[in-house]
Amino acid sequence: MSAFFDEFDLHASDEIGVAESSARLPQLTQRRPARQVVTRSPHRSVFRVQVSTDEGRSAVQAESGLERDFLRVATLAPVPIAAVVEQPRTFEAPDPETQGWVRYTPDFQIDFVDGSSVCIEVKPRAHLRGSWKRFDSIRCHLRSLGHPLVFITDHALRLTRRVHLSSAWHRYRNHSVSAARLHRIERAVRNAPSGITLHELRRRTGVESREIAHAVANRRIYLCGGLEYSTNAVLRPSVDQSKGEQHAIQFQRWLNDPAG
């Protein structure tokens, strides 16, 4: 079990194996939320998160700080993301506790450029522990329908420091960078398809680190090999398609790798 998923998150190798054996992961095409994100507690807030995808920016609502943190991490994944939708649709799944059926709405759906997608459930670890039989039943049911479901916990996010590391890149998302300098960055990275360090990219282009961070946060180029904001950070133009894996599978592999 990797560092990112603990025993109450997801048996990641099992989920990935199922995805690989499928002919095609069907895309959940509904882009509007299945229900409005609300909060019943006066002590909780709904966060409106500006999310960058490979097809532009959009505002995604998160019901908790943990969901917000996950979005910040996930949108740095080196996989072409088409859209992120909060609470995309509602499923009916068997409930092992009542022997009946329960209505379940994932927190997020991530659609990828190749048409594959994955559902995301973000929960505190303690909550997942207390309801694991029910959530595992839901996971298995959605898998049978062709919709992989990934569980993300506070424990997993903190253990890998990805929330802390991702903030350094997102800090420069709205930094002002000219189109000419962005083009210079993208061209240099395209000319190094196997990857180029931030230090070497600066040397070749004469741009500043914060301009490179802006390109990363807006998904003009991708990080690979970890989220550490340093001169040794490795950047590349796109995801490796040599294995022909679907983007949803590559995204799960990236989540499952504590090194990013």
Tell me: do 66 and 156 sit in the same domain. yes
Tell me: do 250 and 224 sit in the same domain. no
- Within a domain: 2: no
Range of the domain at 103: 12-160+245-255
**Lookup: tokens for 115:** 């048409």
With 50 as the cut, is the pLDDT of residue 10 above it? no
Tell me: do 88 and 175 sit in the same domain. no
- How do 149-153 and 117-123 pair as beta strands? parallel
Mean pLDDT is lowest, of 67-71, 158-162, 242-246, 256-260, for 256-260
92: number of Cβ within 10 Å: 12
Into how many domains does the chain fold? 2
Tens of pLDDT along 114-163? 999 999 999 998 888 878 888 999 999 999 998 899 999 888 787 778 88
Tell me: do 177 and 230 sit in the same domain. yes
Tens of pLDDT along 163-179? 888 988 999 999 999 99
Tens of pLDDT along 218-244? 999 999 877 888 899 999 986 555 567
pTM above 0.85, yes or no: no
Tell me: do 190 and 96 sit in the same domain. no
CATH code at position 19 = 3.40.1350.10
- Within a domain: 3: no
Q: Which residues, including other chains, have CB under 8 Å from residue 32's CB and lie 6 or more apart?
A: 85
Tell me: do 105 and 61 sit in the same domain. yes
